[in-house]
Chains A and B, each alone.
Chain A
Amino acid sequence: MVQVESFEAKYPWITVEPSEYEWDPATFSAQVAGGTLPTLFQVPFTDIQGLIAGGQVADITDLVAELPYADAFNPNILAVTQDDAGRLYGLVTAAYGIGLHYNRALFEQAGLDPDSPPQTWEEVREAAAAIASETGVAGYAQMSQANTGGWQLTSLSYNFGGRLEDGTGDTVTSTVDNPGTRAALEFLQAMRWEDDSLGDNFLYDWGTINQAFAAGQVGMYTSGSDVYNSLVTENDIDPESYGLSVLPLSGGDAGVLAGGTVVAVKSTATPGEVDAAVKWLDHFYLAKLVDEAAAVADAQALAESGAPVGTPALPIFGEEQLAQSDAWVADYVNVPLDQMSFFKENILSQALVPEPSAHTQEMYAILDSVIQAVMTDENADIATLLQDAQSQVNALIEQS
């Protein structure tokens, strides 16, 4: 690999051994215990705080401070990998916001204009009902399994102005039962039982909902804005039928959930390995965001291998830097950027809200069953479900 060669030329005392790696929560602990975890590995936003709490990632604050662009980081982005004391345990290498993905072909079939996606949740509901009645497929779908249900419900709650936890650190309490989450669930309940626009299948996780969407079985759904990359490489989506817009925001406190990828160093690495890992982080992951030559080389390599280049992302350093790096790679963009223009133009003006930090994954698992209950039981009582969920999460918080 070109980057490995140039890196080892620059730092002759470091050897880079690449290995195939994909974040998998089920095997992560075994890899840590067995010593087979790569020194430097990728983790989604949603899991990094759990790893920090479990002492499984190394503190790289001082090493990062030596990097030339250490002061240029967006502070909200830095906060994702910081613990309560402000120490840094990883660096964000890619960030996205949740967006509304829609199938342009289904929009046309339903008599809707694919160039003007819904701007309010009422319009989403109407569009979903139109798609369901005109084409027979689900107008809107919602993830509900493998903790993705809770993740998306959190996102939807933020859109309705709700927040799922209050306070930080030792004083945190769960506020899963809040008006925003109730409104989100009532919205889903209405679409499911009054409009029947959610189709007949409700057990979706991140991978299976992408599959269904790419196969044209789903009109709209919410997920990270970078999902297009996966839709192309794994689900063979037809680029003409893909559209991306921002999520409608309802109410004063409404915001959008941010997500992304963190690169971290395992805590069992030696100090020399940690130092080398941070240098590699700089060379391979971050240089392409701040250095024109690196950005162009990276985009060229991706384009040549058929991977998508140009999917909208959130700025890690700042809006001007993002605009500049977009300009550098403009010649290599191979995604239908004009079909994503609504997202790209409006995401930066939306308030970004981080994920809840206390027992995030366990809370998501509890919320999974809340969503599934709403979708499969016509008489589901949202108030009771949320109160139960809240007391369960608070019990978890008290235990630890």
Chain B
Amino acid sequence: MTATRAQARWSRPRSVRSWVKRGGLSALVLVLPLVLVFGVFSWFPIVRAAVMSFQTTNLISDPVWVGLHNFQRVFADPLLLTAIRNTVYFTLLALVFGYPIPLILAACMNELRRAKGFYSVLAYLPVVVPPVATILLWRIFYDAGPNGAFNTILSWFGLGPWPWIQSQASAMPSLVLVATWSAAGATVIIYLAAMTSIRGELYDAADVDGASIPQKIWNVMLPQLRYVLLVTLILQLIGTFQVFMEPFLLTNGGPANSTLTVLLLIYRYAFGSGGTGDFGAATALSLMLAAFLALLSWIYLRATRSWSET
């Protein structure tokens, strides 16, 4: 009965006039700026990029339709495989090391009685620091000489100077560290909020059954956070596949293309070679990345449908 009453209230108005009377016009006026801005600055460039991926253009003379030539050019590029491999490597590292850390931090902070707000601010501060300032800061930290900031700290524990971003093997893990530091805070806040909504009786019930702390975490907290965890996981996957800022600003894809990611490759196609870039190849690779991420999300949502609450 509640359903039919609700249905009756929001049923389609029988005429335009009754729609206007119900406030349809003010709703339209409120939504119009958003649609316009979104349309001009988000949707139009997306459609334009899709069109450009089938053309060759230098933005001055008329573009030339070239069919699938740009996609073929991208596939033939030896750096494409390198970029994909590096991006997958970054995503896996971020998943193994960067995904659990906000959860652990939030779990610890949740136990605090009094200083929770203070620690929340501390955790969120890296998110607020402007990205370029972050990179400059970490570039100083990562100075590979024996007197670099991190190397000095390591020397206090008897560990040798590490090359950080100056070596092909350690460059990518160094970038993961920066990315985790700057993004963890936002996820910590989300987890904290989710944890406060877990009913206390569940923990009490677990206590009664004699559960230890790890058991309580595994059997009470994680299942209750299931939905939030699934959402943050797919958001992290989508975000890390598009990593650009850290490789661009810290290492510019180096050393020797060991931190070249797909988005950095797109940037190089478009802006890397002086004033004349290959926008066709850049937009083609962007489309391919977007299609891949859409497919990944679809598979993910189908696979986890049974676990989520929706």
Contact = CB atoms under 8 A, between A and B. Distances in A.
A359 B73 CA distance: 16
Contact of A369 (B61, B163, B254, B274): B254
A28 B275 contact: yes
Interface string B262-288: 000000101111111101000000000
A25 B73 CA distance: 22
Contacts of B58: 29, 54-56
Contacts of A33: 59-60
B168 interface: yes
B161 interface: yes
Interface stretch (A196-204, A311-319, A331-339): A196-204
Contacts of A268: 60
A188 interface: no
A375 B258 CA distance: 13
B241 to A, nearest CB: 23
Contacts of B173: none
A32 B166 contact: no
Contact of A376 (B73, B166, B270, B277): B166
A78 B144 CA distance: 44
A370 B73 CA distance: 22
Contacts of B144: 200-201
The A interface, classified by DSSP as helix, strand, loop or mixed, is helix
A202 B166 contact: yes
A392 interface: yes
B273 A50 contact: yes
A296 B58 CA distance: 42
Nearest to B151: A200
Interface string A26-59: 1011101100000000010011001101111000
A146 B148 CA distance: 24
The B interface, classified by DSSP as helix, strand, loop or mixed, is loop
B168 A200 contact: no
A51 B60 CA distance: 12
Interface residues of A, number: 43
A398 to B, nearest CB: 11
B240 interface: no
Contact of A32 (B59, B73, B270): B59
A369 B145 CA distance: 22
A202 B275 contact: no
Contact of B256 (A25, A56, A362, A372): A372
A229 interface: no
Interface in B132-174: 143-146, 148, 161, 163, 165-168
A368 interface: yes
Contacts of A235: none
Interface of B: 58-61, 73, 78, 143-146, 148, 161, 163, 165-168, 251-257, 268, 270-277, 279
Interface of A: 25-26, 28-30, 32-33, 43, 46-47, 50-51, 53-56, 144-147, 199-203, 205, 267-268, 359-362, 365, 368-370, 372-373, 375-377, 392, 399
15 contacts: A33-B59, A33-B60, A51-B274, A51-B276, A54-B58, A199-B145, A200-B144, A200-B166, A203-B165, A203-B166, A203-B251, A365-B272, A372-B256, A373-B168, A377-B256
Given A55-B61, A365-B272, A377-B168, 19 more contacts: A25-B275, A28-B275, A29-B59, A29-B270, A29-B275, A29-B276, A50-B276, A51-B275, A55-B58, A56-B60, A56-B276, A199-B145, A200-B163, A203-B251, A267-B60, A360-B274, A361-B273, A361-B274, A399-B73
